[in-house]
Each structure stands twice: as C-alpha cells, then as structure tokens.
Amino acid sequence: MIHSLFLINSSGDIFLEKHWKSVVSRSVCDYFFEAQERATEAENVPPVIPTPHHYLLSVYRHKIFFVAVIQTEVPPLFVIEFLHRVVDTFQDYFGVCSEPVIKDNVVVVYEVLEEMLDNGFPLATESNILKELIKPPTILRTVVNTITGSTNVGDQLPTGQLSVVPWRRTGVKYTNNEAYFDVVEEIDAIIDKSGSTVTAEIQGVIDACVKLTGMPDLTLSFMNPRLLDDVSFHPCVRFKRWESERILSFIPPDGSFRLLSYHVSAQNLVAIPVYVKHSISFRDSSSLGRFEITVGPKQTMGKTIEGVIVTSQMPKGVLNMSLTPSQGTHTFDPVTKMLSWDVGKINPQKLPSLKGTMSLQVGASKPDENPTINLQFKIQQLAISGLKVNRLDMYGEKYKPFKGIKYMTKAGKFQVRT
Amino acid sequence: MTDSKYFTTTKKGEIFELKAELNSDKKEKKKEAVKKVIASMTVGKDVSALFPDVVNCMQTDNLELKKLVYLYLMNYAKSQPDMAIMAVNTFVKDCEDPNPLIRALAVRTMGCIRVDKITEYLCEPLRKCLKDEDPYVRKTAAVCVAKLHDINAQLVEDQGFLDTLKDLISDSNPMVVANAVAALSEIAESHPSSNLLDLNPQSINKLLTALNECTEWGQIFILDCLANYMPKDDREAQSICERVTPRLSHANSAVVLSAVKVLMKFMEMLSKDLDYYGTLLKKLAPPLVTLLSAEPELQYVALRNINLIVQKRPEILKHEMKVFFVKYNDPIYVKLEKLDIMIRLASQANIAQVLAELKEYATEVDVDFVRKAVRAIGRCAIKVEQSAERCVSTLLDLIQTKVNYVVQEAIVVIKDIFRKYPNKYESVIATLCENLDSLDEPEARAAMIWIVGEYAERIDNADELLESFLEGFHDESTQVQLQLLTAIVKLFLKKPTETQELVQQVLSLATQDSDNPDLRDRGYIYWRLLSTDPVAAKEVVLAEKPLISEETDLIEPTLLDELICYIGTLASVYHKPPSAFVEGGRGVVHKSLPPRTASRSESTESPETAPAGAPSGDQPDVIPAQGDLLGDLLNLDLGPPVSAPPLAASSVQMGAVDLLGGGLDSLIGDSNFGAPPAAVTTAAAPARLGAPVSSGLSDLFDLTSGVGTLSGSYVAPKTVWLPAIKAKGLEISGTFTRQVGSISMDLQLTNKALQVMTDFAIQFNRNSFGLAPAAPLQVHAPLSPNQTVELSLPLNTVGSVMKMEPLNNLQVAVKNNIDVFYFSTLYPLHVLFVEDGKMDRQMFLATWKDIPNENEAQFQIRDCPLNTEAASNKLQSSNIFTVAKRSVEGQDMLYQSLKLTNGIWVLAELRIQPGNPSLTDLELSLKCRAPEVSQHVYQAYETILKN
C-alpha cells in the first residue's frame, strides 16, 4: 500500500513528508528529480517512475508535485486517485492548495493525512467525515480555541463512518433548507484547418450544493435521460433505480459534492457554438508574416457567448507581433511566444477580430509548425448537449426546501488547427 | 495565527526550550510545545531527544494532544525502543476506553510502532479489538494485523490472528469485510504459496454483497480479490460479471479499472454466442472512454491498460478511434500512448482519418512525438495493405518539408515498407536519394544504405553514393558500417565489373582496420564466400527476404493473457509480468486467464478443470516465429533475421561464374585462393584458415543451417531444440525418424531445474505438410531434477496445413507444470518420402516430359565419392527409388522417383562419374510440379548420400 508521501515544489524542494509505514529516506526523491530534469516541463514528468526498490507515483497540481512512494504491487490508479483526493481535501480545508498555505497549516495537514490513511490503507477520505474528525481552521475558531483551550480535533466518533450512508453526517440542521444543482458542460473539440470538426465530445458534470436538515431522500429526473449513456455516479446514487427507471435517487452528502459526471461522445451530434476564421501566413523571403483571426457564434441556441479568450503558441521564429484587436485586449510574450487575446463577449452584429503583422527572424526559413489556436468561452443558461432536468422531489422530511438549477456550457480543450 | 510560527524559533537551545515547555504545568503551553515538536519533525529536523518528555504528555484526556503524541511516537519509537516501552501501558489502557474512537486510535497507533519488544505486549489488546462490538474498532484492528505481520510474521501466525482475520470476511459490516480482504491480500503477497484467500462460492457471495455497500477503496480491494477467483463454470462467471458491471459507473477510476479487470478475465469463460457476451462487450467501451477525459496521470495509466485491452479484444473499442486523437497540449507521455493505440485500432475503415491525423502530428513542435508520428505512418502502411500507397505518398509529402528529423524518420520507415511490399514503390527511390546528404542519424543512414544496396541495379550512381559513405567509414556507427559492408557486396554481385575496387576497399576496411568482431566476421564471411563460390555468394547475399509483418509490435499472446490478469496494476503499466520486476521475486504467482468451461455440455466429462496457473488447451495455438532459434550467423539485413539458404550452385547460372571469374581473380590478387592477406593474422583470423576452403565453408554452413537438418546419418543425431535456459530448466533435444511407414519424433527431455516437472503436453503449429502428433506426449513418471527421459512421439500427416517459411519449418509448443515453451525446428524432408514412391518406367518418361522445363532445378552434391551401386542402395533405403539406369561416356545416370506424404511426385536424374576419382561431385536434376520442394529434396539427397 502507500508507503510515504512527499510534497515537492517546482524548484525541487521537499517541503513536507509523511510516512505511513517505516520511514523512507527522502533520497528516494532523487530519482524523481532526475525525471523532472529530463522532462523539461513540469507537466511532462511521467506519472510512474520506477526506482530500484520503490515506485514513485506523482501528480502535479497547483504547481506542487504530490509524490507517493510504494514498494509492492499496488494499483497505480488507486494511488493517483488518492493523491487527487489529498489535493481536493487541502483545497476544501484551506480554500487554496499552495505551498505557503500548507506550511502555515502544517500540523492540520499532518493530522488530516494521518486520518486519510492507516498503514497505507485509506481510512477516511470523505471530506464530510474528515471535517468532523479534524475541524478546518477558521479565524473564528482559532480565536475561540485560544480563549477556551478547546481544540480543533473532534472528540466524537464520526457517526457517518459506520452508517449505511457513510457520506452523510447525522444531526444536520439548517434554518434555510436549500438544494442547488449546477449542470456544467465542457466541450472538448479539435477543429481542422478548413473549419470542420475532427473530434468533439462533451464532458458534463452535475455539481450539487445541498444544505438540508435531517436525512432527506432526493430524486432527480431528466427530460431526456437517454443522452446519459456513459455516466459515473457519486456513491450515494442508487444504481438499480437508475438502470430501471433512469431516475437519480439518493440521500445526499451534506454540503457540496459532485453528483454525477457524464460523457457525450463524438457519435452523438455535438453542437459547436463558435467558429474561428483565421489566416496566418509566412512568406519564405520576407521577414513579415500576416496574421488575422475572427471569432463568431455558430450554434448557440440564441444565447450569448462570453468570456472568450483566444490563446496561441506561436512558432519560435516569430520575434514580435503588431496586432490591433477590434475589441478586448491582447498580449504577446516574445519569450514564451504565447499570444493571448481576451475578447470578452461576442456581439453577432460586430464580430471581434484581431489583425496585424508578425515580424520574423530575418533570413530564417519559414517555421515548420502551424500554431494551434486554443479557445476558452462560457455560455450561461445553456447545456449544449440539450440535457434538461425535469423535476426534483424530496422524501423523508417534512419541510419544503428551496430548489435551484443552473446550466452552463464552457470550452474544455477546444482547439483550432491552422 | 498560523502554524508557520512553529518554524520561526531558530535560536540556540531550541530543544532545551521545548523541553521546558513540554514539562510545563499549563495544558495550553504543553500542547503548543508538542505542536512545535511535530512541526519540526515534519520538515525532517531531529527532535528525538525529547522522547521522554513527549511521552509524558500522553496521559491526557485531550484528544488532540493524544493524537499529536501518537504521531510523534510512531516516528521515533524505532530509534528509542527502550523508551517506547514506557508507552505500552497507556496503549493497553486506551484499548479498554469506553469511547470506540479512542480504542481504534490506540490499536491503530500500536501497530505503527515498529519495535519488536513492544509487539508482544500488543497481542492481547489486538485480540480484544478484533472481536470488539464496534465495527469501527474491528476494521481498524484488521489493518493492524497486516501491520503486525510486516513487523513479525511468525508472531501473527502463532497467535492465530490470520484465522481471526479470515473470519472477518464473513463480518456483517461491509467496511470490516473490505479491510479484512485488504489486509489478507497484503499478507498473501509476502506468502505466495499460502492459501490465505481461499475463495469459495459462499465467500464470493459475501464479497459481492459487501462490494455494493463499502467505500470506494474497499471496492478496489474486493474487486482485486475477486479477480483471483476461478469460477467453476460459465454460469457462475456470468453471475459474478452481472454483479460487478454496475461498478463500471463509479466515479473513482481505480474502481472502474479493477472492475474491467474482473470482467475481462471472466469473459474468457463465456461463450461468444451468448447474448450476454455481446452486452458485456458493449458495456466495457463507455467507461474506458470516460477514463480518457480524466486528469493526464489517470489517462496515462488508463491508456497503458487500454493498449492491452485492444490487443486482446479489439472489438471493444473499434469504433472509438476519435477519442485517441491527440490534443496539442496533452503531456508527451499521453501523446505517445495515444499514438500507439491509434495504430492498433487502424483498419481499412478508418485509415483515411488516421492518416490525416498523423500527417497533422508530423508538423507539431515536439520532436519525439513527431518522430513517432512518422513511424506510425509506416506502421499503418504495413498493417493496412490498402493504405500503403497513401502512406507512401504522405511520407513523400513529409520528405518535401525538408525538416531534418522528419526526413530521417521517413526514410527509416520507407525501408520497412520496401520490406513489406517489394517491387512496388521503388519509384520513390530517386526522391530519397536527393536527401542523402542531410542524413546524420545512424539509423537513417543505415536505412538509406540498405535501400541503395538492395536496389543497386536501379540506381545509376549507386557506386558513387556508397563510395561517398565509405570515405568516413571509421567514424560511422557499427550499424552503418555493417550495412555499408553488406550493401557494397550486394552492389558488387549486381554490377561486378565496375565495383571491384570498392568491394576490395570495404572488405579490407572491415577485416583489417576494425576492432569490431561483428564487422570483422561478417567481412571474412563475405570475403570467403566471394572468393570460393561467387554463385553461392549471390544466392546467399541476394536471397529473397521474408516479408515483415506488423505482428512484431504485438505482445506475445501468452504474455498478453497474463497481463490481462494484471489490469490496473504496475505490471500493466510496464507491460511486463510482475516476475520481471517485483523485488526479490516474492509474491509472484503466475496468473492466467480461465479456460472456457461450459457447465451445460461438459461439466462432468472434463475432469481436469485447469487449475490456476496452468494454461489451457484453449490458448491460441499460433506461436510467434522464434527467429533467434535459427541461430542466424549470416544475419545480413536489418529487421527480422533472414534464414540463409544453404550453399547451392546451379549450373544454369554457371555462365555467371565465368563473368565473375576475371573480376574475382584480380580481387583475390596473388594471395592463394581466398586466404586473406597475411597481415590479417594479427586481427584474429579464423582458426580454420589453413584448412581446405571448401570444408571451411561447409563448416560455416553447418552452423547456419543450425538446428539439425543436415547433420548426421539417415537418422540425424539428436540436436538441442530448446536449451534449458530458455525453458526454465527444461531441455529438449530430438530428431526425426521414419521406420516402416511411420514417422516419429524422437525426443530427449532433460530436467535441469530444481523442481519436479509433470503434466507434459505437446502441440504443433500448422505446418507445410500437416505434421501432427498421433498420440499425446506420454511421460509416465514425473521428471525429477537432473533426470532425462527418452521417448518417441509418433506423428501423422493429417494435421492442418499452412505453408511455412522455410518449407520444412515446424513450430512446436511444449507444456509442463511450469509454463508453456515454444521452439521451432526444421525437419529433414526424407522422413516424408513414402514407401510406394517407385514410379513405373513409362510413366516416369511421360511425366518427365510433361513437367515444364522451368520446374527443373539443378544441384551439385560435392565431395561424395560413392559408386553408383552404393548410392542407389543408400537412397533406396530412404524411399528414393531408382527407376532406370544409363551409362554414357563413363558417367552413370540414375533416374529416380519419390513421393511425398501429400502425394507430390519428385523425379530425379542423378549423374555419377565413378570412373574418375578426381571428380567426386554428383549432379542432381530435380523435376517436380511443385518446384518449391526441390531445394529441400536436394538437401535430403545430400544428407542421405553423405552419411
């Protein structure tokens, strides 16, 4: 099972280590540093690194490497999933997950890690339960603790641990009972030079924030559940009910959680809400290149596209760019060759465009690679797959909760080749 | 106020200060001090000196303080074992605490104190906790057994904790079950032989029930445990699959992959006609696709596993090509894996899309990725024949970009395409030659040189091109040097008149000026070959090469089956069985897919329900060509080894000898007949130098034909077919015999391992003449170490037929209790000559005329001083019958006939000159409707006559 965990910052310092079995010398990380050096970029460090006596499995999040050490055959996905859970927990506890914050809260971090694994076996990884065991630090509690001498470690047996619904604590009480659901869809797409779609798929999630008193039992039904043929559920969802009736029936955890994630693949038609017209040309002899892109709406079901940001990694040969946007602001970093254009809203009457010239190295031949354009955008009140919630019902409790549902579509990895 | 304040005290006497604070009367101060100690500990400062002071703080009702002290204890108990004893009492007391949280905490911490002296004191509290009324304590205690086992395995066994742990599998609480399974699995890993997880249908049922109710991590342990179970029939397998399938929709990817493992494994037992089988296949695709939208690290592990899955069951993902398309900001390790899977999924249906993508990738920035993309285009061409032309034109487009590394990769793969589709795309050579100067990588240079040598006759200035490479011969890498040597020899054989100087130059460079033994030996062989028998040289060097196939990239089927059992583990990431990398080989049990056992038809009649670890008869019977067995000395070319055809001079080509004669004479110069110049002796000239060249050569060729075709008498002596080193201690040697109409394979099995071998079985791959065992391999007693057994395996020729290359190649699989082993051997053709092979005289004449002259093959049998009578008798005993005899001008002509087991007649004319003792060569003409057998019939003649 998981032996040890090292947290390493991007400059290669180990700033926290935790061992669940015998202590593994931190020199084991030298193998990791070697791999890090070879990879040139942090994102490219391979997630599984063998060493003579151990295996190092790592994830890179928030500019921190979380490196787990294992000694025997352990499913690598198990380890990587666990590391992600550690990251999520830190974020949940401290709001952000960064080196200074972890250092500031090192004792809480240590206590939390101790509760998450026992001898390398996962013990409590649900944040609901962890928070019962070790209370997250808040300014108020710190003050109260210093005055009263109480601690931020709970002294109750975490009740959820053993019930049939281990994800929910008992005795939840709210004065305002509310349940919010966000349907968020991300479009991953590759568009080729001519504007036709190479691949397109939708990664959707339904995130919930449920603050309900007692033990509510919820059912959520959809207008068009047939869209959801590839889904992963939170453990609270009753799978049998879904299989037979296509209804989500569950006792929710308390607070925020991800109820469901789903995947609408390329075979189903995925609508592409934006198009990019581009003309990027280098000439062999001249040291000037021409650059022009225009962004416009395509299939948006009448909604506005907002938060549009266009980025593109320009070829190394491009020295500088002199561009004029019709709206928004743009930057070009001559060192990293990264072009970024913050467009904002797209007005269908007056399409935003960015035009100008690129100066190239004099005498150099024209670049081999074509820059890929990366697009970010948001569309409020639209689930691009067409998914719609039909109704939400609550059983088991008497009060009437306030219910809300929001839809949003975003660009995931949305790339346009030129 | 944050914890970072604990780091700020860097003053002198820090430890002293802390000590004072720890002994303070104020609770608050104490706690702060312990926090400071812990903070120092986490960043690796040594605070072990404070051990007694910290332990003193343990007796407290403050839970946080207690936990902090426990944290400290776990870290430092090992270094202060005597002090640690002080803590024991508190633990024992805490295990009796009314609060289950405290009890669990105590038992948890206890197990983490890795001090031998303490462990003994902990047995009693642990025993109590394992039977605690609170499941939270029980599940914590279960893990504690695994901890204790790690520290002192003997103690755990003596105390009977393992049995208690096994009982917990039937616990009413699913979390306790899951933890018990996890603990047992970990213990079992260090005891591969023990039957700790002895699963039966009842316990399986318990596990399946717990599976639905326990946490995600518990589900992983249970699924991994289920995967080791061997259902008794397909009905049980199906019912387990049905209950596992819902796990595919879990949000935790590790749960999903473990479920995939169970399904992939048990699916093997289901009949393909079953509706459920199809349903299951359909259900497997979406979760695998979903894994690819996760974080890159998860994607990587998923992709490595998908790579195995598409090789085992390509049908699952055959419609999902697009999800493997590469995004430009994927990490490089994800990109490379996606590319690999794209090629595996490439088929005629989607090749256009794939090619368009690959071409796109070839213009990306990352060099490694671009190279692999270009290679991928070549692999597509080899895999999907219909696409070859498009691939070649795509590659040409890429060469036009003139990007250096793209051009080089393209040339390397075009060489492979030539090997797969000879005489089809040679028109592109001109374009390739234009880029000659830009090649600076050895592999690309070697590939280009190979192309020039192979197609020397079509390239006008081939000699100039090769000469230009020769200038810097010593600076080239070995790969290029070897290739250059072979290419120039090829060129010389094709255009002998203009290139003598060149070949002389390269041979002397290779043999005299090089320190590389491979290069030197290859140089000598060519030299001798050219000087002794140019015709033979031509046949050897310019022999037709076997085509290459894309199979070379696939994982070998038995390994693949084993790896499928390890889906989701490190083994699946490395594509190696755990035995190859798990430390010390502990915990390694070979796993294999379950055999298909149908409950309905044969549940009673198949007594040997194959146990785990024993591959079944269902295993694919195609074996990969074991090229290395052919011991190929004259490995002339890149890529797969070429089996060199034995020396044979055809009189049809005699004219060529004259033509070459002059050139060779001058090449050899004044040195006596082929011996390299005297100066060479410094460079370890072959020991046989002084021996007659011809015998030296035949020695050489005995080596090349290696595995026992041409050696020995009528019944060749046994040769080693399978060396012990390749078969985990089993050595097999053998030969083929034919006696009164029956063929048999005489085998000698030697056990050179340390363990007894049993359960032998043998199987042949399909072969040219349908040879198959007529009876099972009977090894009556188990073969103990160092024992040898001889046996004769009767063969028949009614097996399935597939043309092999070479024709008499036989691939054999031998199984025993340890593993399955593969080897290939060549059988002498004369075992196939049947007894009724004597043709009637008239018939002979008519047939001889009837067979077209192109089917006539001529051979020389050298150094065979036999008289006509003796030769005829010798041949007759091997079922080659003399139909007629004629004497003309001191020459005897024997007309002979023989028939093969598959009914093919071969007619022969053997010319013997008994009157002239100096002419000991026999001349043989063979006529046959299937001319490809002639070569082997000739070999049989030679074997029989020379022994």
Interface predicted TM-score (ipTM): 0.81
Q: Is B68 helix (H, G, I), strand (E, B) or coil?
A: helix
For the cut 50, the answer to whether the pLDDT of residue B565 exceeds it is: yes
For the cut 60, the answer to whether the pLDDT of residue A159 exceeds it is: no
Identify the band that residue B200 occupies on the pLDDT scale cut at 50, 70 and 90.
confident
For the cut 50, the answer to whether the pLDDT of residue A63 exceeds it is: yes
Residues in chain A: 418
For the cut 60, the answer to whether the pLDDT of residue A259 exceeds it is: yes
Flag the least confident range among A144-148, A231-235, B244-248, B316-320: A144-148
Look at phi and psi of residue A99 and say left if phi exceeds 0, alpha if psi is from -120 to 50, else beta: alpha
DSSP H or E stretch at residue B22: helix B14-22
B249 and A233 within 8 Å at the Cβ level: the answer is yes
Q: Which residue of B has its CA nearest to A61?
A: B295
Strand A372-380, strand B742-751: pairing: unpaired
Phi then psi dihedrals of residue B807, to 5 deg? -55, -35
Residue B655 CA to residue B677 CA, distance in Å, equals 28
User: What's the pLDDT at A169?
Assistant: 74
Q: How far is B450 from chain A (nearest CA, A)?
A: 29
Q: Which residue has the higher pLDDT, B13 or A389?
A: A389
User: What's the pLDDT at A138?
Assistant: 66
Residue B310 CA to residue A116 CA, distance in Å, equals 36
Residue A379 CA to residue A345 CA, distance in Å, equals 10
For the cut 90, the answer to whether the pLDDT of residue B31 exceeds it is: no
Amino acid at A347: N
B135 in reach of chain A (CB within 8 A): yes
C-beta of residue A35 within 8 angstroms of C-beta of residue A55: no
Site of tokens 């928030």: A62
Q: Which of residues 294-313 of A touch B (CB under 8 A)?
A: 313
User: What's the pLDDT at B556?
Assistant: 82
* Top-confidence range, A386-400, B566-580, B744-758: A386-400
Task: Spell out the residues 6+ positions from residue B408 whose beta carbon is closer than 8 angstroms to its own.
Answer: B438, B439, B440, B441, B443, B444
Q: Which residue has the higher pLDDT, A273 or B48?
A: A273
Residue A28 CA to residue A55 CA, distance in Å, equals 9
Residue A264 CA to residue B624 CA, distance in Å, equals 40
Task: Mutation target for B interface from A85, A118, A150, A153: give the one with most B CBs within 10 A.
Answer: A118
Identify the band that residue A7 occupies on the pLDDT scale cut at 50, 70 and 90.
very high
The mean per-residue pLDDT over the stretch B494-505 comes to 85
Identify the band that residue A153 occupies on the pLDDT scale cut at 50, 70 and 90.
low
Calculate helix-pair angle for B442-454, B478-494, nearest 10 degrees.
10
User: What's the pLDDT at A411?
Assistant: 92
User: What's the pLDDT at B299?
Assistant: 93
- From residue A230, alpha-carbon distances to A263, B267, B310 in Å are 6, 21, 19
User: What's the pLDDT at B383?
Assistant: 87
User: What's the pLDDT at A229?
Assistant: 79
Q: Which residue of A has its CA nearest to B245?
A: A239
A106 in reach of chain B (CB within 8 A): yes
Reported as a single tens digit per residue, the pLDDT across A348-401 is 889 999 999 888 877 766 776 778 899 999 999 988 888 899 999 999 888 899
User: What's the pLDDT at B914?
Assistant: 67
- From residue B77, alpha-carbon distances to A156, B72, B102, B106, B123 in Å are 28, 8, 20, 15, 18
Identify the band that residue A157 occupies on the pLDDT scale cut at 50, 70 and 90.
low
Q: Which of residues 329-368 of A touch B (CB under 8 A)?
A: 368
Q: Which residue of A has its CA nearest to B299?
A: A77
Identify the band that residue B666 occupies on the pLDDT scale cut at 50, 70 and 90.
very low
User: What's the pLDDT at A342?
Assistant: 93
User: What's the pLDDT at A256?
Assistant: 85
Output helix, strand, coil percentages for chain A, rounded to the nearest 5. Answer: 20, 45, 35
Residue B207 CA to residue B178 CA, distance in Å, equals 8
B103 in reach of chain A (CB within 8 A): no
Flag the least confident range among B210-224, B442-456, B756-770: B756-770
Identify the band that residue B2 occupies on the pLDDT scale cut at 50, 70 and 90.
low
B254 in reach of chain A (CB within 8 A): yes
- From residue B527, alpha-carbon distances to A69, B486, B503, B540, B664 in Å are 57, 11, 9, 13, 10
User: What's the pLDDT at A197?
Assistant: 86
The mean per-residue pLDDT over the stretch B552-560 comes to 79
Adjacency order of strands within the sheet including B772-773:
B719-722, B730-739, B742-751, B788-796, B772-773
Q: How far is B344 from chain A (nearest CA, A)?
A: 19
User: What's the pLDDT at A195?
Assistant: 85
User: What's the pLDDT at B930?
Assistant: 81
B42 and A198 within 8 Å at the Cβ level: the answer is no
CA proximity to B746, closest of B728, B726, B773, B780: B773
Site of tokens 């056990």: B751
The mean per-residue pLDDT over the stretch B678-685 comes to 37
Phi then psi dihedrals of residue B749, to 5 deg? -105, 130
Flag the least confident range among A145-159, B40-54, B372-386, B444-458: A145-159
The mean per-residue pLDDT over the stretch A299-313 comes to 88
Q: Which of residues 38-57 of A touch B (CB under 8 A)?
A: 39, 43-44, 46-48, 50, 53, 55, 57
* Top-confidence range, A98-107, A175-184, B56-65, B843-852: A175-184
Q: How many CA atoms lie within 13 A of B45 on its CB side?
A: 16
A46 and B78 within 8 Å at the Cβ level: the answer is no
The mean per-residue pLDDT over the stretch B648-672 comes to 40
Residue A148 CA to residue A135 CA, distance in Å, equals 16
Q: Which of residues 540-599 of B touch A (CB under 8 A)?
A: 568-571, 573-574, 578, 581-583, 587
B364 and A110 within 8 Å at the Cβ level: the answer is no
User: What's the pLDDT at A95?
Assistant: 85
Q: Which residues of B touch A16 (CB under 8 A)?
A: 42-43
Q: Which residues of A touch B35 (CB under 8 A)?
A: 107
Residue A364 CA to residue A343 CA, distance in Å, equals 32
A14, A21, A161 ranked by CB distance to B136: nearest: A161
Strand A402-417, strand A178-191: pairing: parallel
How many CB pairs (< 8 A) connect A and B?
246
User: What's the pLDDT at B6?
Assistant: 59
Task: Mutation target for A interface from B190, B570, B588: give the one with most A CBs within 10 A.
Answer: B570
Q: Which of residues 212-231 of A touch B (CB under 8 A)?
A: 229-231
Q: Which of residues 7-46 of B touch A (CB under 8 A)?
A: 7, 27-28, 31, 35, 38-39, 42-44
User: What's the pLDDT at B895?
Assistant: 87
Reported as a single tens digit per residue, the pLDDT across B392-436 is 988 988 888 888 888 899 999 998 888 888 878 888 888 888 888
Q: Which residues of A touch B570 (CB under 8 A)?
A: 48, 55, 73-74, 76
Secondary structure (DSSP) of B357-391: HHHHHTTSS-HHHHHHHHHHHHHHHHH-GGGHHHH
For the cut 90, the answer to whether the pLDDT of residue B753 exceeds it is: no
B323 and A201 within 8 Å at the Cβ level: the answer is yes
- From residue B721, alpha-carbon distances to A321, B142, B226, B726, B728 in Å are 70, 52, 40, 10, 14
Residue B682 CA to residue A311 CA, distance in Å, equals 67
For the cut 60, the answer to whether the pLDDT of residue B868 exceeds it is: yes
Q: Which residue of B has its CA nearest to A1?
A: B186
A244 in reach of chain B (CB within 8 A): no
User: What's the pLDDT at A19?
Assistant: 86
Residue B892 CA to residue B909 CA, distance in Å, equals 10
Reported as a single tens digit per residue, the pLDDT across B592-623 is 777 665 544 443 333 343 343 333 333 333 33
Q: Which residue has the higher pLDDT, A26 or B4?
A: A26
Residue B828 CA to residue B878 CA, distance in Å, equals 12
Instruction: Give the domains, in start order, of chain A with CATH numbers.
Output: 2-148 (3.30.450.60), 178-270+382-416 (2.60.40.1170), 274-380 (2.60.40.1170)
For the cut 60, the answer to whether the pLDDT of residue B199 exceeds it is: yes
Flag the least confident range among A326-335, B164-173, B481-490, B772-781: B772-781
Structure tokens belonging to residue B730: 């089993």
User: What's the pLDDT at B88?
Assistant: 81
Identify the band that residue B710 occupies on the pLDDT scale cut at 50, 70 and 90.
very low
A199 and B322 within 8 Å at the Cβ level: the answer is yes
User: What's the pLDDT at A331?
Assistant: 92
B220 and A166 within 8 Å at the Cβ level: the answer is no
Q: Which of residues 509-538 of B touch A (CB under 8 A)?
A: none
DSSP summary character for residue B172: S
Q: Which residues of B touch A104 (CB under 8 A)?
A: 2-4
Q: How far is A390 from chain B (nearest CA, A)?
A: 22
Identify the band that residue B590 occupies on the pLDDT scale cut at 50, 70 and 90.
low
For the cut 80, the answer to whether the pLDDT of residue B676 exceeds it is: no
* Top-confidence range, A346-360, B48-62, B191-205: A346-360
CA proximity to B136, closest of B162, B103, B182, B109: B103
Residue A143 CA to residue A154 CA, distance in Å, equals 17
C-beta of residue A408 within 8 angstroms of C-beta of residue A204: no
CA dihedral B56, B58, B62, B67 (to 10 degrees): 130
The mean per-residue pLDDT over the stretch A208-218 comes to 91
A44, A53, A234 ranked by CB distance to B333: nearest: A44
C-beta of residue A305 within 8 angstroms of C-beta of residue A346: yes
DSSP summary character for residue B582: S
B186 and A72 within 8 Å at the Cβ level: the answer is yes
Flag the least confident range among A48-62, A255-269, B894-908: A255-269
User: What's the pLDDT at B902?
Assistant: 82
Q: Which residue of B has its CA nearest to A122?
A: B217
A157 and B101 within 8 Å at the Cβ level: the answer is yes
B42 and A239 within 8 Å at the Cβ level: the answer is no
B327 and A243 within 8 Å at the Cβ level: the answer is no
- From residue B260, alpha-carbon distances to A257, A264, B280, B413, B789 in Å are 26, 21, 10, 36, 44
Amino acid at A26: R
Share of chain B above pLDDT 90, in %: 8
Q: Which residues of B touch A155 (CB under 8 A)?
A: 63, 99, 101
Output the average pLDDT for chain B.
78
